[in-house]
Amino acid sequence: MHLILIDVKRGRKRVIREDEDGTNTSYGRISRELAEKYVGSYIPNTFLAVSPLSLREAAYQPKKFRYATQIIYPEDRGTIITFADIRPNKVVLEAGTGSGFLASYITRHAGFLYTYEVREEHYKRAVKNLRALARPGSRKAFNADVREFKSLNVSVDAIVLDMPSPREVLEHIHETLKPGGRICVLVPTYNQVEKVYLKLLELGFIDIFARESIVRDLSLKPGAIRPVHRGITFRIFTIFGRRIYGSSSRAGFEDDKGDK
């Protein structure tokens, strides 16, 4: 178990990873053995409260769980899991694995995850993070282009793409999605939202919609509660669609173009 030690007097946090024997604090070195004894309470003679580390907290500890890439922050996982309808009996395909954070979140909800990362150095980092953060026995990670997934002849319930050129791979992998299955594409600009939207229409996806998630923390000062001035307010845009057999939705696209 990864642990977090919260110094309630100074507001500092220290993490002890599963494979570490302790951490240095303002009260000297605290061993894993001692911290484990006090999970859910305070370490005697200190202001250190001990708790199991959450996946969200792990994502904000880049010194302990290193990033090889930009990552998907845990606040966005609710949107992805909810609208891609990822549940314990569902099989999911994801690319690129990147630093393995989104992949780790997905394994906590899905039945099984296939995840692809084309760059070796990213793959190696992701494998380390997956070992530390993913649900055991829940995934297979490949150091390969996601287009190769087709050769496995596996159908999936959902596809999640967080990679620079999702449009280029969509036509190679969309048929691995079961009819009725959901796609979720994550992009950082409005321009890419439009490009992905047009590609999904072209491929016959229906029920397409896009979201922008804006989150603001509140400063809890009694008598003056309001949004904090600093923090990450924008992270990613999410586009969802549903795969359906047949060509009627493509015909719908032609009609839409005619209306303009």
Ligand X SMILES: C[S@@+](CC[C@H](N)C(=O)[O-])C[C@H]1O[C@@H](n2cnc3c(N)ncnc32)[C@H](O)[C@@H]1O
**Contacts with ligand X, residue ranges (CB under 6 A):** 69-72, 95-96, 98-102, 116-119, 122, 145-146, 162-164, 169
Q: 3-state DSSP call for residue 123? A: helix
Tokens 């990213």 found at: 122
Q: In angstroms, rounded to a whole number, what is the distance separating the alpha carbons of residues 80 and 153?
A: 25
Q: Which C-beta is closer to ligand X: that of 16 or that of 71?
A: 71
- In the complex with ligand X, the residue whose CB is nearer, 16 or 161, is 161
**Toward ligand X, which CB reaches closer, 95 or 158?**
95
132 by Cβ neighbours in 10 Å (0-12 / 13-18 / 19+) ranks as: middle
Helix (H), strand (E) at residue 196: helix 190-202
Q: Which tokens sit at 76?
A: 């966005």
* CA gap 142, 140 in Å, rounded: 7
Closest approach of ligand X to the CB of residue 162, in Å: 4
Least spacing, CB of residue 150 vs ligand X, in Å: 12
- Residue nearer to ligand X on the CB measure, 128 or 178: 128
Q: Which is nearer to ligand X, 168 or 212 (CB)?
A: 168
Q: How many whole angstroms from its chain centre is CA 208?
A: 20
Calculate helix-pair angle for 166-173, 190-202, nearest 10 degrees. 20
Q: C-beta of 32: minimal distance to ligand X in Å?
A: 27
260 CB-contact burial (10 Å; exposed 0-12 / middle 13-18 / buried 19+): exposed
Nearer to ligand X, 119 or 211 (CB): 119
Strands 112-116 and 139-142: what pairing?
parallel
End-to-end CA distance of the chain: 58
Question: What is the closest distance, in whole angstroms, from the C-beta atom of residue 119 to ligand X in the complex?
Answer: 4
CB of 161 to ligand X, least distance (A): 9
Minimal distance, residue 68 CB to ligand X, in Å: 7
